[in-house]
Amino acid sequence: MPIERKNSFHLLLSDDELALLRMLAEREGLSAADYLRTMLRRFAGMTPHQAMGLRIADAMRTLGYEIVAAKPRKKK
């Protein structure tokens, strides 16, 4: 059953910001509105440290770095 949405929020964006939002949403296969809702829900469930890590990883991906999860260390 779809979520009933009756509230509206207007956001003023520059042309560059709107293009970036659309590009990020398209990369995830979402509409811009769905992308923003997804990001809000993702950040709402995180601790501040987790959110910071996600922002750093996103910034590094933007710069062309590949993010690889570390393997757990074996106890000696």
The domain containing residue 48 runs over which residues?
Answer: 15-62
End-to-end CA distance of the chain: 51
% of residues, the chain, pLDDT over 90: 34
- Residue 3 resides in a domain: no
Which ranges of 45-76 does DSSP label H, i.e. alpha helix?
Answer: 48-62
- What percent of the chain is predicted at pLDDT more than 70? 97
Q: 2 in a domain, yes or no?
A: no
User: Is 41 contained in some domain?
Assistant: yes
* 73 in a structural domain: no
Q: Is residue 72 part of a domain?
A: no
Query: Is residue 30 situated within a structural domain?
Result: yes
Structure tokens at 56: 């750093």
**Which pTM does this prediction carry?**
0.61
SS3 assignment, position 40: helix
Residue 33 inside a domain? The answer is: yes
Number of domains comprising the chain: 1
